Structure 1
C-alpha cells in the first residue's frame, strides 16, 4: 500500500533507495562469499605450504629434494597470496574487527610468499653445486671453496628472512581470534627457525673458510673441558691439542695437558678489578682454571697467552669442547675401537671419559694419555670422512645450543662473525628484552666429584607484599654419589684434606640480572653468601659441602625491571646433571 501523502517523485526516489540498499546488501553478501571462498582456498594452499616446510626441514641435507620442495612451496604461497590480495579482499580489510583478521592473514601470507620466492629460491639455486657432503673430508681436506661460494647469496637470504620474521612479530595479536593468532604464531616460529638456519649458513660460509686456512695457514689451541671437575663454562681444562689448518686440510700437530703447565707467578693478562677480586686471579694464573670466568672471550686469550709462554708458539685462536659434545659427534661416526681395546660409542663416551679413567688409572698422566688417545681416534675418524655430514652438523648444533662448544679468533673480523651466537661462549650476553640469572658451578676440591653433582634451578616473577613484582631465583644442589663414595679412588674423591672423601664442595657464582637490587638471599643450610660484582651484575658466592645424598638449596629475590623473557643459564654438566624447574610462585603477567 502506498502512502497517499507522498508525491509520485518521492515514491519513486524511495523505491530507488530501497533497491540501492538491497543492491548493496547483495554486493556485501557476494563480497563476503567471495572473501570466504577465496579465504578457504587460500587456507588449503597455506596448509599444503606448511606440510612442504615440514618436508624441507626433514630432508634439508638432500639438496635435490630441497630444491623441488622449495619450488612447490613458492607455487603454494604465490597462489595463497593471489587469493588474499585482490581488491575485494583489500576492501574487506577496512571492515571493523573482521578486517583485522583478514589483514593479519594477508600480511602473513604475503610475507611467506616473499620469503619463498626471493629468499629461499636463490639460496637453493646457488647451493645446487654445494651440499653437506662437501663438508666430508676427502684425503683429509674439506672443500672450503664450495662453502665460500655461497657467502653473498646466503647473506642476502638471511637478511630477507630476518626481515620477514620481524614483520610477523609486529602483527598485533590482541584483536585476533585465537585460531588466527595461533596460525600467525606458527608462521612466526617457522620463519624464526628459517632465519636461524639462514643466519647459520651465512656465518659458516664467512668464517669456516678462514678458520680452515683458505687464506693462509692457521693454528688453533683445542681445549677439552672436564665436566667431572666443574668450572663455570663446563669443566677444568685437562687435555689440550694443537690444530693446524691449511687450504682446507686439518692436522693434529701435538697434544698436551694442563698439569704440564706451571702456576704462573703473576697473571698472564690483567683481569678487570671486579674479576680479579671475584676469582682471586686464579683464571689468569692456572691453565686448568681459565674457564672459571663465564665468558670465553676472556678465557680464550688467557689460554692463548699461557700456551705461548709455555711453548713459545702463538696460536690464532682457541676452541673449547667437552666430552659430552664428543659423545654427540660419535652419533655421526659410530663405535670406535681405541688403542686400549675399549670400544667407545655415543652411549658410553661420557662414562668412559669422565669417570672410568679415574677408577682404572692412579697416575694422572695415564688418565690424560687415555683421553688424548680417545680424542685422537675421534679426530682421525672425522678426517677420514667416517662422520656422516648431516648427523655431524646436528651434533655440532646440539652441543653449541647446550654451551658445550666455544670458539675464539684473535682476528677481530672473524670473531665478529660470531657476535650474538652461543659459539662465543658468553652465556650472559643476552638481548634487552631478557632478564637472566647465571648459575655457574665450580668444584672446590681437586677431585672429580662433579660427575655426581646435580643442580636444579629456575626463576619466576613473583608479587611482593606491596603488590610489586620481583624476580626469584631458586637453586638446589645434590650429591648423587653412591653411599660408599668414600671408598672410591682418591683421584675421584680427593685426598680428604679439604672435605671428607665422598663429599662434594661446590662454589657457585650466582650472577644476578644487570642492575638488579638484592631483596633477600637465603640458604636452607643457613650458610651466608659472599658478594662481588662483574661489571653491571652483582654476584653472590655460595659454597656448599654435601655428603652423599645430601641436598641444599638457595633462594634469591631481586628487584629488577620486568620483561617477558625470564631465564636461568647454568654450567653445562654431565647428561642428567642439570634440571630446570619453575619455582612455586604466583606469576605476574604484563599489564
Structure 2
C-alpha cells in the first residue's frame, strides 16, 4: 500500500472513531434526559384516614391507661406490703390475749386502709365502663367491709378493755381493787351497759354478710395464674356468714348472763351430780343433788342430799318405761334417779323436774337445772389446787394409784359407795360443802389463772360435762345456742346446707351402765366407720365399736366391806341414725336388736356385757338415705360424761383418724 492510500485509511478510521464517540455521547445524553418513572400510590378515603387516626389514638390511650393503672397498682401493693406486718402483729396480740395493745394496731391498720383506698379511687374511671365497672365496684365493696370490720374491732376492744384482767387477758382493766367476787358483781351490774354495743356489733356483722354476698362470684374465673380465685371468694362469703351466725348465737347468752348469775334478782338452781363412772344416757347416774342460790354472782348453798333420800320421799308409783324395764329388771317402778334415760338433756330434765316438784319439802321455784360430772370437779381442782372440806377431808386432782384416777374421784367413791359396818348419815351430802369450798378458793385465785378456768368452762360445755336446763324460755334458748343444753333431738342450725336424707349422715352412740358398779372408770371404746358411695339414693355403712375394760375385777361382796369400782358392765346400747336408716346386720349384742323411730331419728337398741380386763366388739351394717354422690358429710354427736373417743373414718378407701371430744362435723369426698 502506497503512502497516499495509507493516509486516506487513517483519516477514515479517525473520522469513524470520532462519530462513534459522538453517538455514544448523544446516547448517554438521551438516557439521562429520559424522565424517571413515578411510584404507584393508592389514595386513602377520608373515612379510612379517620379510622387510622382513631386506632392510633386508642392504642396510645390504652398504653397510657395501662401504664397509669400499673403505676397505681404498684403503689397499692407497696401500701399493702407496709400494712401486712401490722396486721400480723395485731393477729399475734389477739392470739396472746393482749387486748390492751390492740387499739393502736387497729388505728394503724385503719390509716393504711385509708391510704390504699385513696389510691384505689384514682382508678374510679373503671367504674363507668360497661364491663370492668362491676369489678371496680366489687373492690369498693371490700373497702366497705373493711370499714365495718374496723367498727367491730373498735367497739369490741372498747367493750372488753374494762374486763381484761377478770377475763384473764393481759393488762389491767378499770375494775381494779377489791376481791374477785367484788369485781364479778361489778361486771354483772354493767352487763346491761354493754348490751347496746353488742347490738351494734351484731348489726355490723349482718351488714358485712350482706355486702360480701352481693358480690357475684360467678363472674370471676376459677383461677388466675394458677391461683384459686372463685373458691377463695366463696370461702370468704361462708366465713362471713359463719362469723355473723356465731355472734348472733352468743348474743342472747351475753344478754342472759346477768339474769343467770342473779344480777337482777336471785336465781335458784338444782345442781345434779352425774357420776360418769356409772354412765347413764345424759352423762352419769344421778347420784346426788344440791340446791344453790346465786345473788349478784354470789353462790350460797341451800341444801344437798343423796338421790336415794330424795327417792324415799317420792311417793308416786310410775311403772318403769318398757324401753328401760326390759334391761333394768330389778326395778318395777320408775324412780327419780333413773329419769335421765333420754340422751337429750332437756327431754330428760323435763320429765325429772315435773316429778321432782311433787316431792314434799323440795322447792318448786327452781330457775334451772345444772348437771356436772367428775371431769368438772377434777379439772377445777387441777387449776385451783387441793381444797379442804370440813367433815370430809382433802380433795385434789392428783392421781391416785389405787384407781389410776384423780384423788377426788376415788375419795368421793369411798364416801358415797363404800359399804360400812355402821350407818353413815348424809353420805352424799358432801356435794354442797364441796361446791362451797371450790367456789371460795376460786374467788381467791390469782387472775393469771383465769384463762385456765375459762378453758375448763369451755371444754366442759363442749364435752357435755356441764349441761343446763332453764325454765325461762329465752335463757334456755341462749344455752342451746352455745351447745350448753345437751340437746340431741334438736340439732343446731348449720350454715353448711346439710340435711339428713340428702347430704348429711348422723351417728350418736349412747351407753347406759345398768350394772351398778363404777366400771366406766376403767372402760373406753373406739370407733371405725366404713362408708361406701351412695347408690340410688342410699349409702351403706359399717360401724365397729370396740369396748375395752383395762382393770381387774374388784371384790364386790358386801360382806367384804371393800370399795367396789370395777365389775361386769351391763351396757344398754342405743345407736341413733338418720331417720329412714335400715339395719342390715348387727353382731356382738346379747339380744335381738330393736329398731324404732325416736324424735326424728332411727334407733338401734341392744344390750351387751363387758367383763373386767375384757373386750367387746359391736359391729353393725346399715343403709342411710343419702342423695349427694360427690360429698360425704357426717355429724357425730358426743354423749355427756365420756372421755374423748378415737374415730377412724374409711370413706371409699380413704382413711382419716379423728377424735370425738365434742360434737364432730366431718366432710370429705367419695
Of residues 415, 424, 447, the one that matches 2:517 is: 447
Which runs of structure 2 are paired with 1:242-257 in the superposition (5 Å)? 242-257=291-306
Q: Which residue of 1 aligns with 2:150?
A: 116
Q: Is the 8 A contact 1:295 1:426 kept in 2?
A: yes
Deviation at 1:29, TM superposition (A): 2.7
Unaligned runs of at least 5 residues, structure 1: none
**Residues 1:412 and 2:435 aligned together:** no
Q: Is the 8 A contact 2:517 2:567 kept in 1?
A: no
Q: Which residue of 1 aligns with 2:546?
A: 477
Q: Which residue of 2 aligns with 1:550?
A: 615
Distance 2:649 2:129 in 1: 45
Query: The residue matched to 1:553 in structure 2 has which SS?
Result: strand
Which runs of structure 2 are paired with 1:174-323 in the superposition (5 Å)? 175-177=221-223, 178-180=227-229, 195=244, 198-199=247-248, 202-262=251-311, 266=316, 278-279=323-324, 285-310=334-359, 311-314=361-364, 315-323=366-374
Q: Is the 8 A contact 2:126 2:132 kept in 1?
A: no
Which runs of structure 2 are paired with 1:366-381 in the superposition (5 Å)? 368=428, 373-381=433-441
Q: Is the 8 A contact 2:382 2:396 kept in 1?
A: no
Q: Output one character per residue of 1:241-299: Cα deviation in whole Å (capped at 9) or x when no partner.
A: 2111223322122212212222756588x99xxxx554459999433333331222222
Deviation at 1:510, TM superposition (A): 1.1
Deviation at 1:169, TM superposition (A): 7.3
Q: Which residue of 2 aligns with 1:345?
A: 397
Query: The residue matched to 1:558 in structure 2 has which SS?
Result: strand
Distance 2:83 2:538 in 1: 41
**Residues 1:529 and 2:593 aligned together:** yes
Q: Which residue of 2 aligns with 1:329?
A: 380
Instruction: Mark the structure with the bigger radius of gyration.
Output: 2
Of residues 44, 48, 53, the one that matches 1:16 is: 53
Query: The residue matched to 1:215 in structure 2 has which SS?
Result: coil
Distance 1:351 1:426 in 2: 29
Which runs of structure 2 are paired with 1:75-90 in the superposition (5 Å)? 75-80=111-116, 86-87=123-124
Query: The residue matched to 1:487 in structure 2 has which SS?
Result: coil
Q: Is the 8 A contact 1:445 1:505 kept in 2?
A: yes
Of residues 572, 575, 579, the one that matches 2:640 is: 572
Q: Is the 8 A contact 1:45 1:79 kept in 2?
A: no
Distance 1:170 1:65 in 2: 34
Q: Is the 8 A contact 1:77 1:116 kept in 2?
A: no
Unaligned runs of at least 5 residues, structure 2: 1-38, 167-174, 499-503, 655-666
Q: Which is further off, 469-478 or 104-113?
A: 104-113
Distance 1:445 1:427 in 2: 25
Deviation at 1:58, TM superposition (A): 2.3
Q: Which residue of 1 aligns with 2:664?
A: none
Identify if the C-alpha distance between structure 1 residues 501 and 318 changes in structure 2 by more than 3 Å, giving closer, same or farther: closer
Q: Which residue of 1 aligns with 2:181?
A: 137
Of residues 495, 503, 507, the one that matches 2:572 is: 507
Q: Which is further off, 376-385 or 580-589?
A: 580-589
Query: The residue matched to 2:636 in structure 1 has which SS?
Result: strand
Deviation at 1:308, TM superposition (A): 2.8
Distance 1:319 1:297 in 2: 11
Q: Output one character per residue of 1:193-216: Cα deviation in whole Å (capped at 9) or x when no partner.
A: 865774476334311211222332
Deviation at 1:426, TM superposition (A): 0.4
Q: Is the 8 A contact 2:265 2:295 kept in 1?
A: yes
Q: Is the 8 A contact 1:223 1:318 kept in 2?
A: yes
Q: Output one character per residue of 1:463-514: Cα deviation in whole Å (capped at 9) or x when no partner.
A: 25x46552636241312322xx2235569xx99x9xx97332221221112x
Q: Output one character per residue of 1:51-84: Cα deviation in whole Å (capped at 9) or x when no partner.
A: 2552353244x55334444444444455555555
Deviation at 1:575, TM superposition (A): 3.6
Distance 2:641 2:153 in 1: 37
Query: The residue matched to 1:243 in structure 2 has which SS?
Result: strand
Q: Which residue of 2 aligns with 1:47?
A: 84
Q: Which is further off, 10-19 or 207-216?
A: 10-19
Identify if the C-alpha distance between structure 1 residues 14 and 211 changes in structure 2 by more than 3 Å, giving closer, same or farther: closer
Identify if the C-alpha distance between structure 1 residues 448 and 461 changes in structure 2 by more than 3 Å, giving closer, same or farther: same
The number of equivalent residue pairs is: 571
Distance 2:57 2:261 in 1: 75
